A and B are shown apart, each in its own frame.
With several copies, the nearest count.
Chain A
Amino acid sequence: MSEVVPPLQKNYIANLVKKGKRIDSRKLDEYREIKITPSFIGNAEGSALVELGGTKVLVGIKLEIGEPFKDTPDKGVLITNAELVPLASPEFEPGPPDENAIELARVVDRGIRESEALNLEKMVIKEGEHVWLTFIDIHILDHDGNLFDASTIGAVTALLTAKKPKAYMENGEVKIVDEWEPLPMEWIPASVTIGRINEKLMVDPNFEEENVLDAKICIVFDDGNKICAIQKVFGVLSIEQMKEAVKLSEKKSSEIRQMIMEAVKGEVEKHEKRKGKKQKNR
């Protein structure tokens, strides 16, 4: 959100919304075109280029072997980082991640971590000593609004298509074999960002819309109909609007999930099997 709102632009968009219309002629509950290109980067263990309208996000997964955290010796480590590089927008400045980059990284991380999409317990080589560190690096290339959803789509797709070599212990040392297997993914969380303007909700605000919204909220659903993360990014919502946003995001999240599954088709079968089992146990 830029800091000074141009009032004319705001009125124009607000009036359109009152009639259920938007500046790019979408419906209020319609996403821009989503294009997902998995495995874009050869040097990454997993990656995805996501184009959401004019927004371009590249996510890469890198794996390393390291120590677990002291208080979770039986779990791998997940580290999510976002870079709002100045290439992507005249608003982004060089330097360490600012509050917006950190919020973005932490919300994407939360959606994946809290949904337990990546089973960190299966990312252990030897409990308390050697685990897989999974780095999710989010690189914004062009910022045309709704970075949260584009980044979550990218991160989830990259994880679903990532491969890791087999590793085991031998004589107290970690051995790695050149046999590659997918990461233990259990769920496909999907994030839905909703804007409020003129008391109406709209999904997937673009950059111009974000600049004039009264409120923005991001809601992430796992694929078992549970909310696994919420973040009100700015503005206020009434209680009714909040409940409406949750319902809307539940619906849209399954459409997005469908697109991710489409993009990673090869992976889908495996995932469906896993999911089938899970749902029964639930």
Chain B
Amino acid sequence: MSYLLKEKPKKLINENGLRLDGRKRLELRPIKLKVGTLKNANGSAYIEWGRNKIIVAVYGPREIHPKHMALPTEARLRCRYSMAAFSTPERKRPGPDRRSIELSKVIKEALKPALFLERFPKTAIDVFIEVLESEGGTRVASITAASIALADAGIPMRDLVAACAAGKVDGQIVLDLNSAEDMYGEADLPIAMMPRKKEITLIQMDGKMSIDEFNESLKICIDACDKIYEVQRKALIEKFKV
């Protein structure tokens, strides 16, 4: 609730190297990923990443409206990242704001390289992302889940897309920033990768980092994406093993 405004904590990492939520510098928050949770969607996934709770549905390939939006040689990938009104400490007014419009675009660009869109010309593939609760890092969690929802929908893919953020907090490079670290830290660097191909499909940064710090952040993100990739694979196996 916004009316109980929290002050900025003095330290985000304590003398024992532990972060506010007790994690070590390079420790991910717990991630739970479930495939196929929705009945109507062609594919779906639900992710809990720390306190983030996000549900993703994929519809398509399907007919596109209005017709002139159709692309002659490939499917049009559309993404809608949206936060529930109650997902944030202060109520968020429903409807897209500038942040969510930008995130919708960068998430689309992060997923697109993994998809064989050329197999479905003139159709639409819609990825709907609903952030039910947010605690920092919703875009990387969304990409991680969306990639699985696309697989669940049977869209042919070059590779999965795994995503994670690194950042700089109290002068140190840390993995997987939470809300407070995002707000009061010095830099945030979300990255998405196709883990097998080791190709970056999303990279954004804000804050300040030297080139060395950047390279270090990049490295720990790559490692983390490998771990997240395992989580993704297990979730898919879980779904289809029955």
Contact = CB atoms under 8 A, between A and B. Distances in A.
A165 B3 CA distance: 10
B207 A246 contact: no
Interface residues on B, range: 35 or more
Given A71-B5, A87-B128, A230-B203, A4 B73 contact: yes
Given A4-B72, A226-B210, A232 B202 contact: yes
Interface stretch (B10-18, B24-32, B84-92): B84-92
Contacts of B237: none
A60 B85 contact: yes
Contacts of B206: 110, 113-114, 228-229
A129 to B, nearest CB: 15
Contact of A232 (B2, B40, B87, B200): B200
Interface in B194-232: 194, 198-211, 214-215, 218, 222
B209 A227 contact: yes
A63 B1 contact: yes
A149 interface: no
B102 interface: yes
A124 interface: no
A236 B40 contact: no
B199 A238 contact: yes
Contacts, number: 193
A185 interface: no
A89 B126 CA distance: 12
B40 A233 contact: no
B40 A88 contact: yes
A99 B53 contact: no
B57 interface: yes
Contacts of B86: 41, 43-44, 47, 60-62, 135, 137, 139
A106 interface: yes
A165 B1 contact: yes
Nearest to B127: A87
Contacts of A222: 208
Nearest to A116: B208
B181 interface: no
Contacts of B3: 64-65, 165, 176
Contacts of B89: 43
Nearest to B38: A142
Contacts of B1: 45, 62-63, 165
Given A99-B104, A114-B208, A176-B4, A62 B91 contact: yes
A78 interface: no
A96 B5 CA distance: 30
A113 B187 CA distance: 12
B34 interface: no
A60 B84 contact: yes
B101 interface: yes
Interface centre among A4, A65, A99 (most CB of B within 10 A): A99
A183 interface: no
Contacts of A41: 53, 84, 86-87, 132-133
Contact of B80 (A71, A86, A135, A234): A86
17 contacts: A3-B71, A4-B73, A45-B1, A63-B1, A64-B2, A87-B56, A96-B95, A106-B98, A106-B99, A141-B38, A225-B210, A228-B206, A232-B202, A236-B200, A242-B200, A243-B218, A250-B211
Given A56-B38, A86-B80, A99-B102, 10 more contacts: A40-B53, A70-B2, A71-B5, A86-B126, A88-B38, A97-B98, A102-B102, A137-B86, A232-B200, A235-B113
Interface of A: 3-4, 40-45, 47, 54, 56, 58, 60-65, 70-71, 81, 83, 85-90, 94, 96-97, 99-100, 102-103, 105-106, 110, 113-115, 135, 137, 139, 141-144, 165, 176, 178, 217, 222, 225-239, 242-243, 246-247, 250
Interface of B: 1-5, 38-41, 51, 53, 55-57, 59, 62, 71-73, 80, 82, 84-89, 91, 94-95, 98-99, 101-102, 104-106, 109, 112-113, 126, 128-130, 132-135, 187, 189, 194, 198-211, 214-215, 218, 222
